[in-house]
A and B are shown apart, each in its own frame.
Chain A
Amino acid sequence: MKLTGAEIIIKTLLDEGVDTIFGYPGGTVIDIYNALYDYQDQIRHIRPSHEQGGVHAADGYARSTGKTGVCIATSGPGATNTITGIATAFMDSIPLVCITGNVASHLIGKDAFQEIDIYGVTMSVTKHNFMVSDVAELQDTIRNAFSIANSGRKAPVLIDIQKNVMQSMYEYEPKPSLPLAENPEFEKSEIEKLADYINKADKPIIYAGGGINSSNASTELRELMNKANIPAVNTIMTIGVLGPLDQLNLGMVGMHGKNSSNLAIENSDLVIALGTRFSDRVALNTNHFAPDAKIIQVDIDASEMNKNVIVDYAVVGDVKEVLTELLPLIDANKRQAWLEQIAELQKDDYQAPCCDKQIKPHQLISYVVNQLGEDLIVVTDVGQHQMWTAQCCARTKPRTFLTSGGLGTMGFGFGAAIGAKVGNPDKPVVLFTGDGSFTMNMNELKTAVDFNVKTTTIILNNHTLGMVRQWQNLLYNKRFSQTDINHSFDYVKLAEAFGAKGYSCKTVDEFKAAFADSQKQDGPVIIEVLIDQDELVLPMIPAGGTVEDIIME
């Protein structure tokens, strides 16, 4: 049957199993929306306040469900507004398909109204992108985009479609999804070598990254840890994959990780890096990372080998497939001395102070996650609140902690929380944010109200850009340049103006009452919580430092 390009887009998205789109109409995508009009019962469309929020929502949807996030934006400013969202997903290897409209073919390159070369602009923040100027290529391009986004290391893919393509007629027949590209193959001998490193090690430590999440390998990871008593540290991307119930999990490693996690790496004789990339927030000083250890690495992306840290041995492969082959070759081992040494190290870990009256971030976050249980999806923005939440959100299931790890995008949270709730309507979703991050994209509160997306936003308000202030405090002689936010902002009125319910709390009791009431509401709520401006995220290893430079008070 012959359909318009716009209808082919919608039909092909349905063929790919898409039932949710985050998009914003505009001149060059009006045909897509015209086609969508007939499929409103099959596709739920969420219109954000701003395209950036829409991409973050698609991203939160993808992170929390494991599906591909889909977003639509118009040409020009609509397309450029997606860039931060796409880059956020790219840095954290999240599969997205972003469709942008562009001006008609005869106007391309003429600086037409709302024309921008989004194909050129997004080359470096996508795994691949397409420019479609021929309707004959449309269906297969969309199918290909889904395959690329989900093959190997997952990532966003952008398809820029010229307006006349959407209006042209072309033959359409339903086609199944394209198969994913084969994962890299590895030899038995490579697995044997990995096993040999592990079996011979006295003090091994697993350094587990976001690849475990992408590969759904948390079960295999636990089996490896338990079979041979290998302790593990997690990155911020692995929260929920490993949690507080895993006795062998020491907790988060890196700049704001636990002292014991960093010391365990420092004292180990073998680092087993799984699906992780030795970022500068973990391997803060690459010349001094695990100085006495051999390092072995498994990653699906060959270019992660020897990128930041030179490793002794690496296998390129899907971490779940590698661990499945590896497990039978691993010797059971008590590793008593090593585990005792680690237990000693843990005794000196930083303990966040508690207080009955004044609200302490750790106490507050722990209270909320305890109230809402293990299905709660925790979302963060970026800054101090992000680190506090990472330190004590105690997630025990994969895909229940969503944060912008690689790009560190302030303003990520509200959109991501909306996407998470849309994808998981039966699970509670709480966004922990700061006053800086919240105000960056608070316009999405309107989206949550419009589409009745029930999210709880808890704003830890310290009237400052806390993480930058912390660096100014500790590293820049307390020269608090441009970080304090001294306006008197009424979050309760703000919530009401948007049609949401707002609360403001100064004490622990006030918060508990507000939180209890907030959970009875049907729509989105925001709770402002006043905290001290001088609260620090501890411990902290300054950028480029080693565990010897750790700041504990």
Chain B
Amino acid sequence: MKKMRVLSILVKNNAGTLTRVAGLFARRGYNIDTLTVSATKDHRFSKITLTAELDDIMLGQLMSQTAKLQEVVSIEELFDHNSVLREILLVKVAVTHECRSKLIEIANVYKGVVVDLSRESMIIELTGKPQKIDAFINVIDNFNIVNFCRTGVTAVQRG
């Protein structure tokens, strides 16, 4: 059965490494849902965190295919129960005088922060697990969302 998987890939920090990983996914027919790349403590390496909908067989294939790349140091699956998964949402909503306070009230419940406010719109920033971001977007769906942007998941194992 397919489900959302979070993969954490430690790679050598060389030009073209991201292309290799993304290209591998593409040519093996796997669709990446989110992808983030960041520096690590050791400047020689970068961390790619990506999410994709995969079943167990696809996951095994993808992990072993990725591990074959010369520039991949390690690849592991991260789970909700043993990792902190976070994503940032920036959502711009067109607001009127009447609905502004209602939206702020909802954002407060989700610990969202208003980072920009004008007469016609506001931008809310929200950090949380992907499920929390999904839930927030769902709740404010009946407001006039102009656009939003999500960073994709970044994650670190607990303990």
Q: Which residues of A contact B (CB under 8 A)?
A: 119-120, 123-124, 127-128, 131, 148, 301-303, 305-307, 310
Contact = CB atoms under 8 A, between A and B. Distances in A.
B158 interface: no
B65 A303 contact: yes
Contacts of B23: 123-124
A292 to B, nearest CB: 22
A128 B70 contact: yes
Nearest to A302: B64
A124 B27 contact: yes
A370 to B, nearest CB: 43
Contacts of A123: 16, 19-20, 23
B68 A306 contact: no
Interface SS of chain B: helix
Nearest to A126: B70
A294 to B, nearest CB: 18
B64 to A, nearest CB: 4
In the A-B complex, list the 8 residue pairs whose CB atoms are closest, starting with the nearest. Answer: A303-B64, A302-B64, A128-B70, A303-B65, A306-B57, A124-B27, A306-B60, A123-B23
Given A306-B60, A307-B61, A310-B57, A301 B68 contact: yes
A124 B68 CA distance: 13
A248 to B, nearest CB: 32
Interface string B7-50: 00000000110011001000100000000000000000000000
Contacts of B70: 127-128, 148
A157 B27 CA distance: 19
A302 B67 contact: yes
A137 B112 CA distance: 49
Nearest to B15: A131
A143 to B, nearest CB: 14
B28 to A, nearest CB: 9
A307 B64 CA distance: 10
B19 A120 contact: yes
Given A127-B70, A128-B70, A301-B68, A306 B19 contact: no
A306 B59 CA distance: 11
A305 B60 CA distance: 9
Given A120-B19, A127-B70, 9 more contacts: A120-B16, A123-B16, A123-B20, A124-B23, A124-B27, A148-B70, A303-B61, A303-B68, A306-B60
Contacts of B60: 305-306
A4 B64 CA distance: 40
A307 B59 CA distance: 11
Determine which residue in A120, A123, A301 has the highest number of CB atoms from chain B within 10 A of its CB, and name it: A123
A328 B120 CA distance: 80
A123 B67 CA distance: 15
A124 B20 CA distance: 8
Contact of B61 (A119, A128, A131, A306): A306
A306 B62 CA distance: 11
Interface string B75-88: 00000000000000
A131 B16 CA distance: 10
B75 to A, nearest CB: 11
Nearest to A310: B57
Contacts of A148: 70
Contacts of A128: 69-71
Contacts of B61: 303, 306-307
Contacts of A120: 16, 19
Of B15, B61, B71, most buried by chain A (CB within 10 Å of CB) is B61
Contacts of A302: 64, 67-68
A148 B61 CA distance: 21
Nearest to B67: A302
B127 to A, nearest CB: 35
